[in-house]
Structure formats: C-alpha cells, structure tokens
Structure 1
Amino acid sequence: MEVNAFLVNAFTANDRGGKPAGVVLNADNLSDQDKLNIAQAVGFSETAL
C-alpha cells in the first residue's frame, strides 16, 4: 500500500519552532493497523489520519 504522509510543523510562528506532526488525508478507509503502521513509519507521536 502506498500512502502520502505530509510532515508539518504545528503551532509555529514565522516557520520557526513548532511541533512536528505527520498528516494523512482521506484516511477513512484505512484499518486501525494501517494507521498504526503509518504513524510508526512517520516517526512522530503526533500523527493525524
């Protein structure tokens, strides 16, 4: 399975600092296990699917 994950910095000002997070759009059809695998691959505890 191929999924696009966007890596973003949340809570940042002027592109500095912030909290890194992974974001996957249109993830409604992914299983819970798929979501866990994606979060692990992204490597950030804050991953939104």
Structure 2
Amino acid sequence: MPAAASIVVGLLLGAAAVFGVTLMVQQDNKPPLQAGDPASSVLNRVEYGDRS
C-alpha cells in the first residue's frame, strides 16, 4: 500500500512539473506589437496637439 501511494504521488508531481514547465515556455514570447501611424506617433506613443 505505501508503495502504491508513493507511485501515485510521484506521478502527480511529475505531471504538475511537466505542466508548469510547459506554461513557462509558452509565456516566454513577446506579445505582438501593433504598428502605429508614423505620421502621428513617435515610438508608438500618440502625441496630441500641435508641435509648431
């Protein structure tokens, strides 16, 4: 009985580790950047008002 419980706990911990590593790898990407209008923004930050 203790051996069976140990196997079950080991399998659960292994599955949790694989799941956690998979989530970390998937979240290691940059989000897509939306291109701004070059005529109205500098470094993708909108500037309001007249600059003259």
TM over 0.5: no
RCO comparison, higher one (Cα < 8 Å, 6+): 1
- Normalized against structure 2, the TM-score is what? 0.25
Larger Rg over CA atoms: 2
